[in-house]
């Protein structure tokens, strides 16, 4: 296999840990390649699509705020992309630019790895592409959706084609696993106190530097918590398999993250 040039596209993107996990995946798979960060605007996304079509890039991940744009640039979109409205994985196949969303796989991996309760209801915060991925992954459960604008929650359910109950922003659901699909917490922001007080667990879909306040609060109570890094690893492993045909155990990527945080390990 030729040298693989991979990248993550977004704005901002300097915080992304994707290069860490994909470098580990390349080494595990015995493949020569690189994985870089590209901070791009809308025009830069178009140039990245050109690089994929020409073979200068073998594959790309896409993060906020360009997931919807990535879906629009593709020639072929998976069912998950159509339903969620966004793509996080791009690659060329049979002369066509393909778009996939591996975020639902990330949600499922994080849920299982953290041993979040399988029979608990879900309170989903947010109505964007991350929330859509969570709803795709968890739509067979009892789900409440809360957004600052109730109409956004209704639009999300219609777009995904999933059944859920719209809850007022800040209203708790007793015993529910809280799925935070908003940016709140990445810079130390707090979630509404009530939803934390009655939560039975937490899944963060984004990650920042260290634990979010919500993660720290629920972990201190001995409740199961899935960090955004688990989501990152789950979706990253699925993307890597699409690009290379090699299934890398997510534990390889988790170990790389641990070593990145503490090089002495």
* Domains of the chain (ranges, CATH numbers): 4-102+230-261 (3.40.50.10860), 115-226 (3.40.50.720)
Q: Which residues of the chain have pLDDT under 50?
A: 265
Query: Token digits for 71?
Result: 């879906």
Task: Tell me the whole-structure pTM to 2 decimals.
Answer: 0.93
pLDDT at 265: 46
User: Which entry of 67, 83, 98, 108 is annotated as an active-site residue?
Assistant: 67
At 30-49, the pLDDT tens digits run 999 999 999 999 999 999 99
Query: How many other C-beta atoms can be found within 10 angstroms of the C-beta atom of residue 183?
Result: 15
Q: Which residues, 6 or more positions from 130, have their beta carbon under 8 angstroms from its beta carbon?
A: 103, 181, 182, 205, 206
Indicate if 67 belongs to the active site: yes
């Amino acid at each position: 296999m030729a040298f693989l040039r991979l990248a993550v596209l977004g704005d901002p993107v300097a915080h992304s840990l994707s290069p860490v996990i994909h470098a580990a995946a390349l080494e595990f798979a015995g493949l020569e390649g690189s994985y870089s960060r590209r901070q791009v605007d809308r025009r830069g996304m178009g140039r990245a699509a050109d690089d994929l079509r020409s073979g200068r890039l073998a594959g790309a991940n896409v993060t906020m705020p360009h997931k919807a744009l990535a879906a629009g640039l593709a020639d072929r979109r998976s069912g998950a992309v159509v339903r969620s409205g966004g793509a996080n994985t791009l690659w060329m196949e049979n002369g066509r630019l393909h778009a996939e969303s591996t975020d639902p796989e990330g949600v499922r991996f994080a849920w299982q790895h953290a041993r979040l309760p399988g029979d608990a209801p879900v309170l989903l915060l947010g109505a964007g592409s991350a929330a859509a991925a969570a709803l795709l992954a968890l739509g067979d459960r009892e789900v409440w959706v809360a957004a600052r604008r109730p109409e956004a929650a209704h639009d999300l359910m219609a777009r995904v084609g999933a059944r859920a109950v719209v809850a007022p922003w800040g209203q708790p659901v007793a015993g529910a696993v809280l799925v935070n699909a908003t940016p709140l917490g990445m810079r130390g922001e707090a979630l509404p106190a009530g939803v934390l007080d009655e939560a039975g667990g937490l899944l963060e879909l984004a990650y920042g530097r260290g634990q979010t306040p919500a993660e720290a609060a629920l972990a201190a109570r001995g409740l199961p918590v899935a960090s955004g890094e688990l989501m990152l690893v789950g979706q990253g492993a699925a993307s890597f398999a699409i690009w290379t045909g090699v299934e890398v155990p997510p534990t390889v990527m988790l170990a790389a993250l641990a070593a990145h945080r503490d090089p002495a390990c």
